[in-house]
Structure 1
Amino acid sequence: MALRTAGSVLVVFLWSVAVVLGQNGWSVTYTTQSICSLKRSTVDLSCSYAYPRGHKVTTTFWFTKIDALENYVNLRDDPDYKGHVTYRSDKNKDCTLKITDLRLSYSAEYKFRFITDQEGGKYSGYPGVTLSVTDLQVKVTTTWWSTTLTCSTTCTLTGNPTYIWYRNSKIVQAASSPSYSVYFKTEDSFYCAVKGINSPAVSVGGHSYFHVTYTHQRICTLKGSSVNISCSYTYPSGHTVSETNWYIKGKLHEAPQILSPGYGGRVEYLGKMQSDSTLRITDLREEDSAEYKIRFRTDQTNWEPTFPGTTLTVTGLQVKVTPATVTEGQKVILTCSTTCTLTDNPNPTYIWYKNGHVTTQSNSLFLNPVSSEDAGRYSCAVEGHKDLYSPEETLTVT
């Protein structure tokens, strides 16, 4: 079923008691100190600021990071935020930050900083605004008389939103409650939405009898690492599970590929056969990227769920040098990127290597100004996986 995405986006405006930080006439006032918003939505982080008479503000910016040289990284200069941030400033000393098309990796503490024309005229508002970005997931709870669907998030959405439930793309409920109950067996698909942001769809067919709940709908993890793909399941009383099988969903006209324990020396089954199962795959390769599902056999029947399993994406690391052509004295940024946001570490710290030796740990590597001594071969790894490093990228300084 094709899911429709409404044309509107979720914009969160913050109206709360201001928090004022500062001393001796210096201050930054944040409208709120925390906010929870949805992936792909838009958010406004509002603030105002003050400073002593006789000063003239020359520079204002927002930041989340401080580079290895202890320089504050302007969000406008951060490649991860390119095209996603807008500053709003006026004579009333408004310093609102707008972030569009939110990503899970944007969860961070955002702080405002301004600089004046006087010596020592620098000020940052600590603590800042903590932004938590979440996505929508449908959780299923089944009893013998009904199935309850809950539109779930990892944090409480700011602004008391309305949850809209769709059954086969038609609205069946709009309410402040995130839950919707089904009192009949159906093969229909359901999904929820908040201001045009949709969750993945789920099928509740047969929930009164057989049901599988996958822990993750999608997993992104590093090439060379290990992953656990897990699920729990329920079935009619009186049945006993005799066999479980994990498999890769086959392409059109292809049979599913069963991943038996020991398959290729990299597969292991964990869990309790009667209630849950975990597929562990080690030494991951990019070709392991696929949709993984489970089917099981009881002493009375074979059963295979028709709704989606867990989609695994295996990614490598890549170093990018900005700008591509480097001249001595320029500001150079080295970023470490993946093809998807890592599930267990959406905002990682990277270990940076130069000519095979560790140089620093930071989100990005800033060389400002760059010199001929900085030339060399650079690679990166995610903290906690220091042996899974990227291919080397050569930095040439002319």
Structure 2
Amino acid sequence: MRCLFFTALQGYDDWGVTYTSSNVCALRGSTVEISCTYRYPKKQDGRDTTVQKTLWFTETDGKKYVDLRRDTDYADRVKYSCGENSCNSYSCNGKCTLRIRDLRLSDSAAEYKFQFITNQPDGKYTGDPGVTLSVTDLQVKVSFPDPTNPTFAYLECHSMCGLAGPYIWTWGGRYVGQGRSYRFYIESEDIYSCAVEGYKHLHSPPVCKSTPQCTDIMPGSEITPFFDGQYGR
């Protein structure tokens, strides 16, 4: 799965937080890691600096500075991995990673920030702005290249993340082809979906001709030209 990476740096003097990514995109149901490094002075006003607490939090729906490990929406899905800090003669550095499993679409409605608290007066620092997380499903775009033949369809697999794939296609749960696109003749019992290789359990909503549990394939959809892809049965 491919994420979109940008570097964000916040800091003043010897204090700061650097996020590995300021924007991350992932599939619903998958696991994502959001990482940062942080720095602080080894001494301040003659006092050795020690980190007393680290936390990740969001600022959504009026909730501020709530440790995600104590947030009811995240508590059983998050884990922190924070290594030992290293120091030179003047400053210290640390690293901390937030891991969120079983991603939900609602996780997108938040900006994730890291904060560390030290023993120094006013020795609390927050990386702001934080990391924007986008959670998405795969979607199948259906078109009919021949308006006179509504039984011949062309499918394309899409995601907001722009995942590179490779994409796989299943028919009734069985593997039938690979590639971003797929072509097939519609039959009433056919049920198709796409997934990214390695994440087969995170497939798109199924599409079919007329079964209630599917996203119906209806004649009259947007007509698009053929591209390279697999032919179905």
Matches within 5 A, 1:49-64: 49-54=38-43, 55-64=49-58
Structure 1 length normalisation: TM-score?
A: 0.45
Aligned counterpart in structure 2 of residue 202 of structure 1, from 196, 202, 207: 207
The alignment partner of 2:69 has SS state of: helix
Instruction: Decide whether the 8 Å contact of 2:58 with 2:64 is kept in 1.
Output: no
> 2:82 matched to 1:77?
no
Alignment root-mean-square deviation, CA: 2.9
1:150 maps to amino acid:
E
Figure out how many residues of one structure are paired with residues of the other and give that number: 197
Cα gap change, 1:198/1:117 in structure 2, threshold over 3 Å: closer, same or farther? same
> 2:46 matched to 1:40?
no
Separation of aligned partners in 2, 1:132 and 1:16: 12
Cα gap change, 1:19/1:85 in structure 2, threshold over 3 Å: closer, same or farther? same
Structure 2, unpaired ranges of 5+: 44-48, 86-93, 222-233
Cα gap change, 1:151/1:138 in structure 2, threshold over 3 Å: closer, same or farther? same
Larger-gyration structure (1/2): 1
Separation of aligned partners in 2, 1:122 and 1:32: 22
1:24 maps to amino acid:
D
Provide Cα deviations, 1:116-172, integer angstroms capped at 9, x if missing partner: 00100011111111101112232211121641112233x2245x3321111222212
Structure 2 length normalisation: TM-score?
A: 0.74
Among all aligned residue pairs of Structure 1 and Structure 2, give the percentage whose two residues are the same amino acid: 43
The alignment partner of 1:73 has SS state of: coil
Provide Cα deviations, 1:260-297, integer angstroms capped at 9, x if missing partner: xxxxxxxxxxxxxxx9xxxxxxxxxxxxxxxxxxxxxx
Matches within 5 A, 1:180-329: 180-182=182-184, 184-187=185-188, 188-194=190-196, 195-196=199-200, 197-204=202-209, 234=219
Separation of aligned partners in 1, 2:5 and 2:218: 43
Instruction: Decide whether the 8 Å contact of 2:168 with 2:195 is kept in 1.
Output: yes
Separation of aligned partners in 1, 2:165 and 2:11: 33
Cα gap change, 1:14/1:46 in structure 2, threshold over 3 Å: closer, same or farther? farther
Q: Which stretches of structure 1, 4 residues or longer, exceed 4 Å deviation after superposition?
A: 12-17
The alignment partner of 2:106 has SS state of: helix
Cα gap change, 1:67/1:24 in structure 2, threshold over 3 Å: closer, same or farther? farther
1:299 is matched with: none
Structure 1, unpaired ranges of 5+: 1-11, 206-211, 218-230, 236-274, 276-398
Instruction: Decide whether the 8 Å contact of 2:27 with 2:103 is kept in 1.
Output: yes
1:148 is matched with: 154
Cα gap change, 1:66/1:121 in structure 2, threshold over 3 Å: closer, same or farther? farther
Q: Which has the higher contact order (CA 8 A, sep 6+)?
A: 2
